[in-house]
């Protein structure tokens, strides 16, 4: 009797979780497809990635390609920071067509994101109802939704950060389990890098350290020695896993050093930005925060709609009980102001690859784990209140639809980067390594229509930027075969 009750209870919880995940996935896909085939600008790149691998695998049995003829006249893939290699997206692209790969990736990563939160919540004593709310809210946070709309598909990998944190924070009973945890963490973490996401790869360690600070401020127990050991070993193993890609990227990017830097913004404007970013989507115009032309969609990084003001106001009314929570949020607010201010631009400008980073608000997800853990601890203390639950859950469900704006869209998915499918021809393309305005593209060195990709990485067998005749013919026929010396 008792076992049957336990089994039925567990089954009901699993069914409930599945239904909540389906709900969050439906909202994501509705936002993603409501104007299809019009898509975000950067899907010109993403569709190219998927088409590359699918075409190469189905036509020639090639699993990994070094160069793509449809990317900026033969730009390297393996050497490129935005070259997707050995990732879930890569594997899916061998099975599905271009748009099918993108949808499959969104579905699978939303599932991983949802259940990674469920695992993270096992570190807390929190009601199941609030747990479902937090899981849905994490999947629908502004950063994931807007990146998916704009075409920054690798950025949705932030969804598994709670699981990565769980792996580092959970207590281990043996060295064998610690080793397996480190191995799993390193595998997942290196996946971000091979998924062409240097941003998130650099942000996670800082975000995790801020999470630990919030734990300490709220007297949440952390085994410092064990966590530090696992984090150190995980980072070392991860660097070893991605070292071939790092070497290749450096070989290419040293020839194309972009000078962008972060925008330098006043401290008062930065504070206003973070405040509005936490409380409302974007009540003000802040293009200057985001770079030379980026709009407010780059600024939508808040986690849950309307949740931050609810937590802050509720906590102030119960200040004695929640003063540590308030102090933690103030600490994160100060860090956010520093990030947006761009006051570190001169230091970053002295670094070889990081100097090309830009758009200050893209670094706001550094706060995400700290803010999210504050949310969890808030609900951990709060008694179940169905009215508040209904209001907050309704806000999470309906607010994403305010982002249904053509500002994020502007390209038909039939146009792949450098390859106009409708007219069946290769054309001008955009490649980020050549600068935000393609100012570093060596047009003057290209004699013909396409460039020999070996020239970009400084190989000795490259005599000029003009593509050899036999490779030129191959490009004209759009045959994705490995380039041979």
**289 and 267 in contact (C-beta within 8 Å)?**
no
Tens-digit pLDDT profile for residues 163-194? 999 999 988 888 888 889 999 999 999 998 99
3 state SS of 28: helix
State residue 453's pLDDT score.
77
The answer, yes or no, to whether the previous bond of 37 is cis (omega within 30 of 0) is yes
What confidence score (pLDDT) does residue 418 get? 65
Q: How far apart are CA 219 and CA 214, in angstroms?
A: 9
> Angle at the Cα of 201 (from 219 to 224), degrees rounded to 5?
25
> Which tens digit of pLDDT belongs to each residue from 103-140?
899 889 888 998 899 899 988 888 777 888 888 888 88
Q: How confident is the prediction for the chain on average, in pLDDT?
A: 79
b/e map 194-228, b = 16+ CB within 10 Å = bbbbbbbbbbbebbbebbbbbbebbebeeeeeebe
Strands (E), 339-451: 409-412, 415-416, 419-420, 425-426
Of 139-143, 366-370, 462-466, 477-481, highest mean pLDDT: 366-370
What are 320-356's pLDDT values in tens digits?
778 888 888 899 999 999 988 888 878 877 776 677 7
Whether the pTM exceeds 0.75: the reply is yes
pLDDT score recorded for residue 140: 81
Please, which residues have CB within 8 angstroms of residue 303's CB and are 6 or more apart in sequence? 137, 138, 141, 142, 143, 368, 371, 372, 375
For residue 352, give both structure tokens: 């070889």
What backbone torsions phi and psi does residue 198 show, to the nearest 5 degrees?
A: -70, -35
Say how far apart CA 446 and CA 452 lie, in whole Å: 9
Between the alpha carbon of residue 347 and those of residues 20, 192, 261, 265, 342, the distances in Å are 44, 25, 10, 15, 10
Query: Using an 8 Å Cβ cutoff, are 80 and 252 in contact?
Result: yes
pLDDT tens-digit readout, 230-266 = 999 999 999 999 999 988 888 888 877 777 777 788 8
- Confidence band of 454 (pLDDT split at 50, 70, 90): confident
pLDDT digits 0-9 by tens, 381-391 = 776 666 666 66
Please give the residue that has the higher pLDDT: either 335 or 480. Answer: 335
- Calculate mean pLDDT across residues 37-44: 80
Average pLDDT for residues 360-365, to the nearest whole number?
A: 85
Provide the pLDDT for residue 485.
Answer: 43
**Sign of the torsion angle spanned by Cα atoms 344, 345, 347, 352:** positive
Q: Is 60 helix (H, G, I), strand (E, B) or coil?
A: helix
pLDDT of the residue at 469: 72
Cβ burial of 42 (10 Å; 0-12, 13-18, 19+) is buried
Q: Are 374 and 167 spatial neighbours (Cβ–Cβ below 8 Å)?
A: no
């Amino acid at each position: 009797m008792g076992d049957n009750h336990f089994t039925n209870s567990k089954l009901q919880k699993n069914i409930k979780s599945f239904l909540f995940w389906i709900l969050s996935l439906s909202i994501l896909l509705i936002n993603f497809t409501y104007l299809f085939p019009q898509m975000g600008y950067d899907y010109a790149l993403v569709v190219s990635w998927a088409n590359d691998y699918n075409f190469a695998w189905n036509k020639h049995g090639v699993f990994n390609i070094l160069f793509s003829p449809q990317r900026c006249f033969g730009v390297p893939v393996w050497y490129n920071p935005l070259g997707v290699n050995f990732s879930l997206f890569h594997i899916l692209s061998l099975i599905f067509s271009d748009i099918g790969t993108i949808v499959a990736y969104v579905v699978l990563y939303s599932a991983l994101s949802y259940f990674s939160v469920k695992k993270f919540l096992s570190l807390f004593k929190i009601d199941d109802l609030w747990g479902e709310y937090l899981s849905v809210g994490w999947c629908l946070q502004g950063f994931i939704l807007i990146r998916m709309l704009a075409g920054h598909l690798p950025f949705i990998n932030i969804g598994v950060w709670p699981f990565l944190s769980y792996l580092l924070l959970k207590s281990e009973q043996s060295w064998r389990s610690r080793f397996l945890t480190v191995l799993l963490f390193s595998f997942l973490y290196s996946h971000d890098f091979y998924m062409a996401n240097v941003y998130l790869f650099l942000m996670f360690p800082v975000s995790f350290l801020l999470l630990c600070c919030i734990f300490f401020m709220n007297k949440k127990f952390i085994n410092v020695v064990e966590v530090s050991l696992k984090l150190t070993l995980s980072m070392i193993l991860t660097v070893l896993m991605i070292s071939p890609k790092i070497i290749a990227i450096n070989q290419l990017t040293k020839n194309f050093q972009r000078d962008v830097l972060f925008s330098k913004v006043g401290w008062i404007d930065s504070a206003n930005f973070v405040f509005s970013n936490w409380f409302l989507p974007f009540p003000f115009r802040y293009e200057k925060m985001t770079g030379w032309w980026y709009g407010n969609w780059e600024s939508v990084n808040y986690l849950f709609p309307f949740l931050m003001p609810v937590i802050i106001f509720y906590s102030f009314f119960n200040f004695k009980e929640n003063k540590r929570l308030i102090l933690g949020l103030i600490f994160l607010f100060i860090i956010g102001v520093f990030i947006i201010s761009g006051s570190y631009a001169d230091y970053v400008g002295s670094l070889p690859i990081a100097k090309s980073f830009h758009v200050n608000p893209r670094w706001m997800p550094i706060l995400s784990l700290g803010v999210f853990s504050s949310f969890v601890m808030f609900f951990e203390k709060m008694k179940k209140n169905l009215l508040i639950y209904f209001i907050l859950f309704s806000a999470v469900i309906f607010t994403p639809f305010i982002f249904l704006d053509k500002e994020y869209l502007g390209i038909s998915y039939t146009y792949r980067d450098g390859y106009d499918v409708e007219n069946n021809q290769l054309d001008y393309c955009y490649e980020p390594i050549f600068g935000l305005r393609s100012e570093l593209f060596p047009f003057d060195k290209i004699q013909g229509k396409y460039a020999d990709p070996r020239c970009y990485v400084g190989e000795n067998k490259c005599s000029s930027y003009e593509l050899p005749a036999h490779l030129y013919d191959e490009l004209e026929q759009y045959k994705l075969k490995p380039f041979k010396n």
